[in-house]
Every structure is written in structure tokens, then in C-alpha cells.
Amino acid sequence: MEAPYMLWLVYISLASYVLYKVFVVGKNIATKSRTRLPPGPTPLPLLGNIFDVQGELHQALARLAGVHGPIMSIKLGATTAIVASSAACARDVLQKYDHLLAARSISDAARAMGNHDRSIIWLPGSSPLWKRLRAVSTNHLFSAHGLDAGRAVREAKVRELLGCIRGHAGESVEVGRVVLSGLFNVVSNVLFSEDVGDLSSGRAQELETLIDDMLVEFAKPNLSDLFPALSVFDLQGRRRRTAERVRRFFDFFDPIIARRMKAGGEKKADFLDVLLQLHSVDQLSIEIIKSFLLDLFIAGTETNSLSVEWTMAELLRHPAAMSKVRAELQQVLGSKQYPDESDIGRLPYLRAVLMESMRLHPPSPLLMPHEAMAEGAEVGGFAVPKGAMVIINLCAVMRDPAAWTQPDEFVPERFIGVDMDFRVKDRFEFMPFGAGRRACPGMPMATRVVTLILASLLHRFQWRLPEGMKPSEVDVRDRYRTSLNMVTPLKAVPVTLFS
């Protein structure tokens, strides 16, 4: 945590200690007999356990779970957080008591411009608007029919990405950033039939910066989240800066929507047409549509590019696995220059590689925090008080030695011949897209697109590490920023295999 913010916290702690003793401790004593909270580290007055969660948050919570168990409670300032770090505890949160825990714990930055009241990410699971948005995306965008309708567009845009990479053959490229460039156009064409442009274009660079800056604001410690009474002041300016970025994203969507709405505007048979049809019958406002597009655009680009980058990093670290993938592609595709989505089901080892990569490096390591809407939920046998934040440490769940042999090792073979998939059935030890009613609705499209990109990159090019770099030197340290990023972005050299 940055030094100026720590100084603020110390001042607040000293000034508020007496109030804490009177109100907080007194309240805890009064309710102790009624609430059986999970074990956890001893909190400091007012500050709680913020010094116990220094460094990368998912790693700090995993260390604490190693001491206090797979279900624990911590205090983050004035907020009580319940942390689940095992499959059994995650099942309680996402299945057994999901009707009580389906609300979101909303960060103050997410409240910028009131966007949290329109966002499928932040709306509670009991909200009629959330249910409507979820149904619209599931029935029109991510259904089997919707996916098949957009297949040709996705395949064409992935081939354009390959053309871009071919222009840099023999050069060291930043893999994640190049893939993000291609995903911008994949997602923008699925949503509203327009190209954003590659990362050399001003518009694409601006969107990349906006996404990056927004995620940084969500991930950084915020006094308004630690002490909600201070949120009115927005002391660190996080809500103000996020509002400016949301506004700029909306400015990007405005002309696209306006062109489509003008009299005689051409229909594109894309997702924006579906949304505007709902707008025409007063079911969705333009502000809701823009918030929905914002959610889908960020979720469909940033996390998917990270999944490709992490998988490529693991394959470059493990040449034997890379050889197996390339052999499978050669056997299935032969001289076919471009794989398409119909080939994906015939690539079980590549699928296993992706599953293992996402087990080790889930795009959302802590999922999105839930909030208890009412009393009555229990996780791991302990009560979850109303209003508590509920965190699922997905990194800890999917590296739990009780569930996985060699949990920290890259072993794709563990997913060959087992009844386990990206969609959670009854095995909560593997759920990179979450589970229950708040599971990521875009999972069917994400797995298609990421697998197609990986198959295309690995079939069209041979990938080498930069000169003088050994496989063991690929840096797979991670950092938490809402999503799971590489500390050192992956660089590799593509060599063209087809003329």
C-alpha cells in the first residue's frame, strides 16, 4: 500500500480509537453470542487486518488460509470479509447458499456515474434488471444459435490477427498485447460490427489505456472501501477518475449507437441490434445499453488475452507439452492453413493444456466479491453475517493439495480422460469461470475464441524465446489487478510455417 495512504490510515486510527472502543468493540461484544464467525488473524483497532494482506492479495489470503483454515474471517477496515479457499467452502457460497450470497460487494470506484446500478457485473443476483440482462446475453449472444451465427466473423478476425503477426515474423513480440489487439476486433465485431483497429491505431490504444487504468483503480486500496463513511469525500479520487474513464468509454459507444438508430439505419444482425430492439419497446435504456456494452467489451478482451498469454508462457516453459500440442495440430489439421471452430472438439490435448493453464492462472483469481443479503448463510459450518463481503480465493481452490496432486506443477495430462470441463457440474475444485448464478455467462464464447486463437498461433507459427533465453527463465510470477497479470509480459518470436 502506498505510503501517503498508510499515513492517512494512521491518522484516522489515532483519531478514531476511542470511537472504535465504544461502538465497534461494544457492538462485537453484544453480538458475539449470536454470530459464530470463522477463525482468522487478530485485527488491529479500526485498521483490521490490512497489514496482513500486504503484497499480492490472492497470495496473502492463501498464506493466511494456510494458518487459519479454508474458511476464515478478516477485517478490512470497517468491513468484515469471509474468505473461502477450498472447493467445499466454494460450494457453500456458490450453490448451497447462493440465494443469500448472490449480491455483489461493490467497490466505491465501481459506483462512478451510478454505473453499478446498470451493470450486469455489479447488480445483485435478485435484481430484475440483472435477470433481464443475463437472459438477453444467454439467449442471444452466448446460446448455441448465437455462437454459430457469429462464428464466421470470429474466424475472419482471428485470421486477420495472424496476418498482423506474420508481419512481425522473426521479431520479438509482446504476446499478450498483440493478442489483445486481435481480440478488440473480434469482440467489437460480435457486439456492433465495427473494427477498433490494431494497437498501432489511436482508438485501440486509447481503449487499451482506459481498460488498464480502470482495472488499476478497482484493484488499488481505497479508503472509501475500508471506511465507507469516508466515501462521500472520495479522498483518493478513485471514483472521480473511474467516472472519467467510464464517460470516455460511453463517448466511444455514442456515435456507434447513433449511426445505428438514425432513420433508415442499416441493420447488422449483431448484438447491438438486439439491444436496440429492446430499447424500442422500452425494456432497456440507452444508458443501460452502454453499460452492458462496456461490461461485455472489457470482459471479452482483457481476460481472454491473459488466458492466451499465460497458456503460451506455460508451453514455452515446457517444450515437451509444446511438442505434443504441435503434433496434435499436425495430425488433426495436416496441411490446412487455418483452423476453424469446428476443429476445436478434435484437439483434446490443446484443451487440456488450456484447462491446466487456467487452473494455475485463473483470469479472475478472486472472482468478484459477493455480499450476504441476509442472515442464514453458513460457509464451512460458520455463520456469514448480513452485509459481509464474501471472497472466493480461486487460486487457492484450484491449487489445493487436498484436491490436486502436484498442485503447483503444469501437468495437462491430469485433464485427459476425466469428467471435468469448464462448466462446473459437481466438482468445484475447477471453476475458472466461477459457478452458480453468478458464473461468467460468456464462458461458451470465451473457450471457443481462446482455443481458436491458441490453435491458430501454434499451427501457423513456430514460437521461440528471445535470443539467449532458456525455457526455465520464462517468468510466471503473477500480480493481482482484478485479473491475474504476468509480472513480466511474455515476449516470443514467431516463425512462419506456411507460405
> Which amino acid is it at 232?
V
Domain parsing of the chain, residue ranges: 35-496
- C-alpha–C-alpha distance, residues 160 and 186, integer Å: 10
CB proximity list for 478: less than 8 A, separation 6 or greater: 56, 361, 365, 484, 485, 486, 487
- C-alpha–C-alpha distance, residues 173 and 412, integer Å: 26
Helical residues (DSSP H) of 100-194, grouped into ranges? 128-136, 144-149, 151-166, 175-192
Residue with cell 438508430: 261
Check if the beta carbon of residue 391 is closer than 8 Å to that of residue 84: yes
Check if the beta carbon of residue 268 is closer than 8 Å to that of residue 192: yes
How many CB atoms lie under 10 A from the CB of residue 402? 10
Residue 73 grid coordinates:
474471517
Q: Which of 226, 224, 228 is nearest to 51 (CA)?
A: 226
Check if the beta carbon of residue 185 is closer than 8 Å to that of residue 153: no
* Superfamily for domain range 35-496: Cytochrome P450 (1.10.630.10)
> Which amino acid is it at 142?
F
Residue 222 grid coordinates:
481505497
**Cα torsion angle, 71, 73, 74, 79, sign:** positive
- C-alpha–C-alpha distance, residues 294 and 300, integer Å: 10
Q: Strand pairing partners for 379?
A: 382
| Per-residue tens of pLDDT for the chain, all 499 residues | 444 444 444 444 444 443 443 334 334 433 443 468 999 999 999 999 999 999 999 999 999 999 999 999 999 999 999 999 999 999 999 999 999 999 999 999 999 988 899 999 999 999 999 999 999 999 999 999 999 999 999 999 999 999 999 999 999 999 999 999 999 999 999 999 999 977 677 788 889 999 999 998 988 889 999 999 999 999 999 999 999 999 999 999 999 999 999 866 677 889 999 999 999 998 999 999 999 999 999 999 999 999 999 999 999 999 999 999 999 999 999 989 999 999 999 999 999 999 999 999 999 999 999 999 999 999 999 999 999 999 999 999 999 999 999 999 999 999 999 888 898 878 899 999 999 999 999 999 999 999 999 999 999 999 999 999 999 999 999 999 889 999 999 999 999 887 5
